[in-house]
Structure 1
Amino acid sequence: MYIPDSNKNENKEEIEKFLHANSFGILVNQTHGKLWATHIPLELDTNENGKQVLYGHIAKENPQWQSFNNNDQILAIFNGPHSYISSSWYDHENVPTWNYIAVHIYGKIKIIEGAIVVEHLKKLVDKYEQNSANPVRVEDFSRKTMMQTRGIVAFEIEIEEIQATRKLSQNRDDKNYQNIILELEKTNDNQSIAVANEMKKCPR
């Protein structure tokens, strides 16, 4: 991913926090000679060897997994808040742009099987059920329900490279930077307000 130096984020703690908060990603590889992408949750974790990895699973009917063994190179894309930035918000003539946060992860993928799959399904369900009024637990599923796991292919991605960008108008002076934040907050759009909040936290 092209990242100007002013937009690079190399803060490991911030990137990990972002990945935990924006874990619904896009898994990209080459499948049957063409690029293939699947939208799925990809959870950041540490494997038994102490290496940072992404865990996930896809439907067995999805042919993407058929290329995992022959071509283990993978790209996982994670998007955060984004918003259009009108150049009418500047005190000078310029062009409109777009502010956004994104992370690309490159790594090697391998299929996993057995008890570790159930453990990661438990973690996944527990994470997203924690705010439910009546949370469900994998441990409480019947044997019949758990048989549905036969229809998935679980995998681990060993992370080789992380590219993270925060394009948040860092090239603007303080006056215009603050005005962009004010204008974003006026939109009453959740994405725009989220970008404004990120801009308030962004080091410049």
Structure 2
Amino acid sequence: MYIPRYFKVTDFDEIREFIQTNSFGTIVTTKQDKPIASHLPLELHKQGEDYYITGHIAYANPQWKTFEFENDNVLVMYQGPHSYISSSWYEQENVPTWNYQAVHVYGTASIMSEQELEEDLKLLLQKYEGQRKNPVLWENLSQKTKKQINGIVGFKIKIQEVQAAYKLSQNRNEADYNNIIDKLQNEQNPNSNQMAELMKKRLKNREQ
């Protein structure tokens, strides 16, 4: 991923938090030199000194077959809020642009055992159901429902490289930066509003 120096993020703790917050990712592999992709809920785990991304895919989805032989050309993409930035918001004439957050993870994929998949599903349900009034947890499911595990394939990706870009108008002067926040806050667009909050948070952290 091309990342200008203003927007490059290298703090892994910050990147890890981003991945955990924006955990619905896109996984890209190749089959006979053709890229194929799936959009999936994914989780980040640490085992010893290594980090892994785990997830599952429908057995009917042929992409899982690209994981069978330790595919070392896996790309996982995560995206946060993004928004159009009008050049009319600047003090001086310039071109419009787009603000965004994106993380690319490269690694080696392999298929999980059924036991590993079951443990991963338990953690996934705990994460998304644990705080609900009537949580649907693995231990509460019927055997009939649990057997549906046969319709999915679990996988894990050992992380080899991480690239992160947070394009949040860091290259603009203070007046432009604050004006962009004001304009984004007034947009009737949830992504724009979220981008304004991210930019305000960055400004607050910089001032501390």
TM bin, normalised by shorter chain, reads: over 0.9
Whole-Å separation in 1 of the counterparts to 2:196 and 2:174 = 14
Whole-Å separation in 2 of the counterparts to 1:92 and 1:172 = 11
Structure 1 range deviating more: 116-125 or 158-167: 116-125
Structure 1 range deviating more: 66-75 or 35-44: 66-75
In the superposition, the TM-score normalised over structure 1's length comes to 0.95
Give the corresponding residue for 1:125. 125
Q: Which aligned runs of 4 or more in structure 1 are off by greater than 3 angstroms?
A: none
* Residues paired across the two proteins, number: 203
Q: How far is 1:90 from its partner?
A: 0.8
**C-alpha contact (below 8 Å) 1:72/1:110 kept by paired residues:** no
Q: How far is 1:119 from its partner?
A: 1.0
Within-5 A mapping of 1:89-168? 89-168=89-168
Structure 1 residues 144 and 32, CA gap change in structure 2 (3 angstroms)? farther
Deviations 1:144-171 (CA, angstroms, capped at 9, x unpaired)? 1111001111011000000000001111
**C-alpha contact (below 8 Å) 2:44/2:52 kept by paired residues:** yes
Give the corresponding residue for 1:170. 170
Q: How far is 1:121 from its partner?
A: 0.2
Q: How far is 1:129 from its partner?
A: 1.4
Give the partner amino acid of 2:116.
Answer: I
Q: Residue 9 of structure 2 aligns to a residue in which SS?
A: coil
Give the partner amino acid of 1:63.
Answer: P
Any gaps of 5 or more consecutive residues in structure 2? none
Q: Residue 95 of structure 2 aligns to a residue in which SS?
A: coil
Q: Residue 198 of structure 2 aligns to a residue in which SS?
A: helix
Give the corresponding residue for 1:39. 39
Q: How far is 1:50 from its partner?
A: 4.0
Whole-Å separation in 2 of the counterparts to 1:168 and 1:85 = 10
Give the corresponding residue for 1:202. 202
**C-alpha contact (below 8 Å) 1:31/1:63 kept by paired residues:** no
Deviations 1:124-155 (CA, angstroms, capped at 9, x unpaired)? 11111134331110111111111100111101
**C-alpha contact (below 8 Å) 2:67/2:155 kept by paired residues:** no
Whole-Å separation in 2 of the counterparts to 1:32 and 1:153 = 21
In the superposition, the TM-score normalised over structure 2's length comes to 0.93
Q: How far is 1:51 from its partner?
A: 1.5
Whole-Å separation in 2 of the counterparts to 1:183 and 1:3 = 25
Give the corresponding residue for 2:13. 13
Whole-Å separation in 2 of the counterparts to 1:31 and 1:140 = 38
Give the corresponding residue for 2:67. 68
